[in-house]
């Protein structure tokens, strides 16, 4: 039986690119979505045509009850080989205007939601399970217009690296991918001038593609990265160099 990968937020952007990539590599897939059912269904239909076993589940990752329903899926009870924590929410506001309510909403999905998914699936992770957490360069350097997002991703980085130390003796690996500016829905509303400004800030002179991030995720799930755990891999065209 082929390995099982679970991808949260697997219907759009980096998640969809990762779904397609892992489908091509022969994984069985469970992807989650919260609000955009159409995108998830489109991705599922596409990869099923290629012969991939794949299902989509509506899950608000910040809701413990919904996450536990996901954990009851019969495929998951057979064992999860790969877990990609990709779901996220982003409310744009300046750091000085951030409210406690907004911070709580973002943290509940981006940080606590990732913990909840891992906690629910942990009993079903195989001995050599690979976990990839999708962080962000903003979780390292901050941003004036998304303090809640930066805080949630920074917490996610720290938790993932701590988890990697904890589960290493089991043979499980946990790594973080920290994308820079990627050409997804997050920047789709940019004016041509704003896009040029973004590109000018990047040493490589362009935005990254979801497929380029998916390639790094694939590597971290593969046998080629068996001596990597607790790493934060930057995929940003040179924009941020820690």
Instruction: List, for residues 23-50, the tens digit of each pLDDT value.
Output: 999 999 999 999 999 999 999 999 999 8
**4 and 83 in contact (C-beta within 8 Å)?**
no
Q: Three-state DSSP class for 145?
A: coil
Structural domain containing residue 217:
4-235
The one catalytic residue in 27, 149, 227, 240 is 149
Distance between CA atoms of residues 223 and 192, nearest Å: 41
Total structural domains in the chain?
1
How far is residue 180 CA from its own chain's centroid?
Answer: 13
Residue at 240 is within a domain: no
Residue at 226 is within a domain: yes
Instruction: Specify the CATH number for the domain of residue 125.
Output: 3.40.50.720
What would the pLDDT profile of 99-144 be if each residue is shown by its tens digit?
A: 999 999 999 999 999 999 999 999 999 999 999 999 999 899 888 8
Instruction: Clarify whether 149 is annotated catalytic.
Output: yes
Specify burial of residue 191 (Cβ count, 10 A radius: 0-12, 13-18, 19+): exposed
What would the pLDDT profile of 50-102 be if each residue is shown by its tens digit?
A: 899 999 999 999 999 999 999 999 999 999 999 999 999 888 778 899 999 99
Tokens of 195: 């896009």
């Amino acid at each position: 039986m082929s390995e099982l990968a679970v991808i949260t937020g697997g219907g759009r952007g980096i998640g969809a690119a990762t779904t397609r990539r892992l489908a091509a590599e022969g994984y069985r897939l469970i992807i989650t979505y919260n609000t955009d059912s159409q995108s998830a269904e489109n991705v599922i239909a596409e990869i099923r045509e290629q012969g991939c076993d794949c299902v989509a589940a509506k899950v608000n990752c910040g809701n413990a009850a919904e996450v536990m329903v996901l954990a009851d899926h019969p495929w998951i009870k057979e064992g999860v080989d790969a877990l990609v924590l990709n779901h996220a929410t982003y409310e744009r506001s300046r750091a000085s205007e951030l409210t406690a309510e907004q911070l709580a909403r973002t943290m509940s999905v981006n940080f606590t939601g990732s913990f909840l998914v891992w906690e629910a699936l942990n009993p079903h992770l195989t001995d050599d399970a690979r976990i990839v957490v999708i962080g962000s360069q903003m979780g390292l350097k901050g941003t004036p217009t998304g303090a809640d997002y930066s805080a949630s991703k920074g917490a996610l980085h720290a938790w993932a690296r701590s988890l990697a130390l904890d589960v290493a003796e089991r043979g499980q690996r946990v790594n973080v991918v920290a994308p820079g500016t990627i050409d997804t829905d997050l920047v789709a509303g940019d004016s041509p001038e704003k896009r040029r400004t973004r590109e000018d800030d990047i040493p490589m002179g362009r935005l990254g593609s979801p497929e380029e991030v998916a390639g790094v995720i694939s590597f971290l799930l593969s046998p080629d990265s068996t001596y990597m755990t607790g790493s934060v891999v930057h995929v940003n065209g040179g924009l941020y160099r820690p």
